[in-house]
A and B are shown apart, each in its own frame.
Chain A
Amino acid sequence: MSIIRVQSLTKRFKRQIRRSGKMSAFKDFAFPRHEWKDAVKEVDFQIDKGEIVGYIGPNGAGKSTTIKMMVGILVPTSGSIEIGGLVPYKNRLENSRKIGVVFGQRTQLWWDIPVMETFRLMQYMYKIPQRQFEENIRIFTEILGIDEFVNVPVRQLSLGQRMRADLCAALLHNPEILYLDEPTIGLDVDVKERVRGFIKEVNRTRETTVILTTHDTSDLDKLCSRVLVIDQGSLMYDGDLEYLKRHYSRHDVVTVETDSEMPENLLRTRFQDDFTQEGRKCHVRIVPEKDSTADCIAWFIRNGRLLDVQIRQTDIDEVIRNLYSTFKRPEKETGSG
Chain B
Amino acid sequence: MPSVVKNSPAVIVPAEPGSSLWSDAWHRLSKNRLAVLGGGMLLILGLVSLLGPPVISALGGASYAYNFTNLDNAFAPPSHLHLFGTDQLGRDLLVRVLMGGRISLGVGLCATFVALTIGVVYGAIAGYVGGKTDAVMMRLVDIIYALPFTIFVILLMVFFGRNIILLFVAIGAVEWLTMARIVRGQIMSLKKMEFIEAARSLGLSNRRIIFRHLLPNALGPIIVYTTLTIPAVMLLEAFLSFLGLGVQPPMSSWGTLIKDGAEKMEEFWWLLVFPGAIFSLALFSLNFLGDGLRDALDVRAAKD
A and B are partners in one complex rather than unrelated chains:
no
